[in-house]
Amino acid sequence: MADEVVLTSLRDVESLRFFHVVCHRDSAARRLGLESVRKTFDAWLDGYGSPRQIYGETGINGFQPIVTEYLPELLCLSIQCPFDDVREALADILDDVKKRGRGLQVPRRLEQGASHFISEKEIVPVDTPDDKTRTLFVDAFLQNNRLEHITQLMGYHPDYLECFLRTQHYLLKEDGPLPFEYRHYIAIMAAGRHQCSYLIKLQSHEFLLQGGDPDWLKGLERIPRKLKDLNEINKILAHRPWLITKDHIEKLTRGKDSWSVSEVVHALVIMAQFHALSSFVFGCGINQEVDQDGGYTFRPPSVSDASEVDYSSDGSSSGENCSEFEGGGLSVLMEKMRALTEAREEEMTQDELLKRFQHVESQNALITTNAQPPSPKSDILCYVDDTTFQYEDFAKRGSASEIPTFRAQDYSWEDQGFSLANRLYTDVGNLLDEKFNVAYNLTYYTMGDNTSVDTTAFRRTIWNYIHCMYGIRHDDYNYGEVNQLLERNLKAYIKTVTCYPERLKKKDYDGVMREFKHSEKVHVNLMLFEARLQAELLYSLRAVMRHMT
């Protein structure tokens, strides 16, 4: 099985390289690339050249037309490329293959659109007329040889997408302490903690494109000792970051295969980024890329295909998904937000604020998800060490004296984490800080169909509630607002996406924030992504600081 996965990844990478000739900003260069692709397909279909060019020794009876290996990527680019000329030309070539392929099977995509939670017609199209979003889509396509579904979903919020793309590119492809193949493999290990096959497949391709050893993709037992040593901190950071101590950092920075502190920080940021990004992928129901296994099929369509995905949300729900604000819905939430905003700040002692934090913390421990974790597939399990280690409620951590609540005022991102990250990994603190701020402050002053809405209280509550789940307390925040603004099933949704994202179902997405637009739900998921990322970094960077002092 491992050999088959590696072979498939190698073929996919070769296909990406083949179509790189159309990945140009300049239209004349794209035209030349398209002509080259057309001539090559003509040669394959008409049998020009040597048999080695036409056939690969991989198919039935020892031979299979080599053209088949390039069809998934051809299909993907004919749908997902942001350049109109490329989409149209490649769609014509694909149609030509159907007509002249002498019995060749031609793939079709399995899912309609970037998300199985959101109808394709409601997602930002690849040829969006919005100039800023289109420019960002083109930039992303040129960086990655593809326009990823994750980018398309973030296209609802171009200001955030711009920060995300800049940070992601810096972490994985620009100057930094770690070798490029290490970066992508660490991303694979991180995504494996939540069984996020979508990210694993994308990063496996990038790993091979950067010259990574294909043998590493067969599993953790094939990788260097230095990378294996990340297993412990990877699983803790993903599920219970409050357990990270300076001892974990010291263990990495000593011995034969030791890490420099700068390398450790680079690795920690990548792991935290991909743990949290897994939450976003599952929270938005992102489909496999068209050219990935699971994104296409060579089977002919059947009658049942049309009913495989139901995008409807008619407002009906089961009892467990019933809103606490059912009587008024969004209007009740907005009134509560307005009251909190207009109310005179109540003077409360630190003891009272602490009690309210502990009350929310203990309530969170009572929120459970009935969904069982999916059984990991072998191509995911090979990247995961200790699958039984999962999120455990911070309130159940045991003795408070051994693992005290993390007080944000004692070690904050703004005062300590930001500067330490920048000092050990140049400029990464600036990029992360900008991304945090954009996600936190992003607003269009709307909620559903309502305009001129101050959403500050709602955004602050979501951010601080996520930190609360990780045992981080903001001394200046009244946690009584959590129970006023977040209904129980929204809390359950937030907890699932943040802590057990692989368990999320479409009914969970449909059952919350029913009057919100999809763009607003995606924004909530962006906040979950960034608040979780910041929480992981606060714990891990504090451990690095203690190691250094």
* Residue ranges in 193-325 assigned as alpha helix (H): 197-209, 225-228, 231-239, 246-252, 261-283
d(CA 461, CA 481): 7
DSSP annotation of 306: G
Closest Cα to residue 165, out of 190, 189, 139? 139
Closest Cα to residue 357, out of 442, 467, 455, 258? 467
Beta bridge mates, 150: none
User: Residue-wise over 195-223: b if at least 16 C-beta within 10 A, else e?
Assistant: bbbbbbbbbbbbbbbbebebebbbbbeeb
Closest Cα to residue 22, out of 86, 103, 72, 82? 86
d(CA 65, CA 224): 37
Selecting among 23, 196, 284, 382, the annotated active-site residue is 196
Tokens (6 digits) for 219: 């599993």
Output helix, strand, coil percentages for the chain, rounded to the nearest 5.
Answer: 60, 5, 35
DSSP annotation of 421: H
Question: For residue 539, what are the CA distances in angstroms to 411, 469, 545?
Answer: 9, 13, 10
Closest Cα to residue 70, out of 7, 16, 113, 122? 16
DSSP annotation of 301: P
Whether residue 196 lies in the annotated active site = yes
d(CA 275, CA 438): 20
d(CA 326, CA 324): 5
Please state the φ and ψ torsions of residue 472, each to the nearest 5 degrees.
Answer: -105, 125
d(CA 240, CA 236): 5
Closest Cα to residue 195, out of 426, 487, 504, 407? 504
Which sequence positions are flagged as catalytic? Answer: 196
